[in-house]
Structure 1
Amino acid sequence: MVTEVQKNNNVRKSWSSESAFIASMAAAAVGLGNLWRFPYIMGENGGGAFVVAYLLALIIVVFPIMVLEVAAGRMAQGNTIATYRKINRFGAFYGWMVVLITMAITSYYLVITGWTLGYATHATGNNLQDFNDFTDGYNSLWFFILVTLLAATVLIRGG
């Protein structure tokens, strides 16, 4: 999805296509939490009326912020910290906060992905356990490490 582009003797990463960029932004906007929690929250909060309010919030709040972040990144042509530093002298602090929050959220999803991979692995091996029994001990840690290494490998290779 990401390719290297040479500009003014500097090599920087760039999206391979507009559709790859749009797919990535859509995935970031929707998120994993929306996939597993959305049906439950919709049922608890009024069904169709909740969907209308949810879509309005996406259009009015989320989409403009996403466009603003993309525009700022394109303008600054730097990483998160450098981009916010160019906006304001205290922006580097905010940029570091964004990086730290992203790391915290990513660790949360890596744990859940590790649980999913581990539980699926045990289930296909006909070793289906209660989830509480599965998460006792070091099962969660080993699958978290495995998923983290797999994700790091994909990122390092530019996937």
Structure 2
Amino acid sequence: MDHCDDLCELPSSISRMHSLECMSITNCHSLQELPADLGKLNSLQILRIYDCPSLKTLPPGLCELKCLKYLDISQCVGLECLPEGIGGLLRLEKIDMRKCSRIRNLPKSAASLQLLRHVICDEEISWLWKDVETAVPGVHVEFARECFDLDWLVE
């Protein structure tokens, strides 16, 4: 779902797409919320929520995505926090949160992301990940740089 400027919320029926492996929601400038039962997408491995500035929170159900490997919330400038249960994303390997400077703390459960290897964020919020870097061997926090390729699809 890309460039749906008038979209304020996704239909809850999207959560019945149990075999969906990749979902991209980009440039939906009016999107204010995601379905609470997003966690029912049992096969979802890649979730890209890019440039959705009206989105302020992610639903707790997101933390039930047991197969999720890659989460991109970059340029969601209105996003104020990550869900408390983010540590429930047991297979998460990479998170991209460029231009999410309103996020001022990480839930303690983030230190449980044992498979996390790559965090991309702006330098001004990179300090949020210090405890996770200590708790999770092999995690690498990278400062954001402009990226105009499709490498995120293969990672």
Task: Please indicate, yes or no, whether the TM-score normalized by the shorter chain is above 0.5.
Answer: no
Q: Which has the higher helix share?
A: 1
Q: Which has the higher strand share?
A: 2
TM range (shorter): under 0.3
